[in-house]
Structure 1
Amino acid sequence: MIVSERHTDQGLLVTVCDADVLGESFEDEERGVSLTVTEEFYGGEEATPEEVEETLARASIGNLVGEEAVALAVDAGFVAEPNVLDVEDTRHAQFLRL
């Protein structure tokens, strides 16, 4: 997985994506939803599942794309499964910790 961290006025923003979705676009025409996994937003460093979980634990905002990244976030309790969005051939989830 690829993880990046950015400090924002709202806290630590963490993005995580599966390596195979970086640079890809996904669309669900029925719901009018599209998602582009850009290098500018999702690009970062390769990380192990343990490193990703540690980084998400510090995040104020999490943005995740890909089967593996979203499954990790659900399994670790950062995101509830009903809040996961399926977009074409991938999964997307976000969380905000207040």
Structure 2
Amino acid sequence: MGGRWRRLTEYLDDLADPRDRALVFAASATRTQFYFDGNKRTARLMMGGELMAHGFDVVSIPNARRLEYNVALDELFTTDDATALMRFTASCALPGR
């Protein structure tokens, strides 16, 4: 697991936009399951921290869009492709700078 964490953090270091870093981390941590429990919650919490540290609002997933979120998660876990989850998560962000 240490190698995956190292590769992810090295990749994140090369991303200039904190919004990209937040989305990539959230999707990667959700899929890789770095934590014993609460991987999705922890990944979203860390994503919010990265966003707030750079002046952006946290991303909130509305209950009304829960099915879309679950479908995107299913695609991530089925195909190892985070595109749908990252696109969905970004669509939940408030318009900002």
> Please, what TM-score do these two structures have when normalized by structure 2?
0.31
TM-score (norm 1): 0.30
Higher strand share: 1
Higher relative contact order (CA 8 A, sep 6+): 1
Which structure has the highest helix share of the two? 2
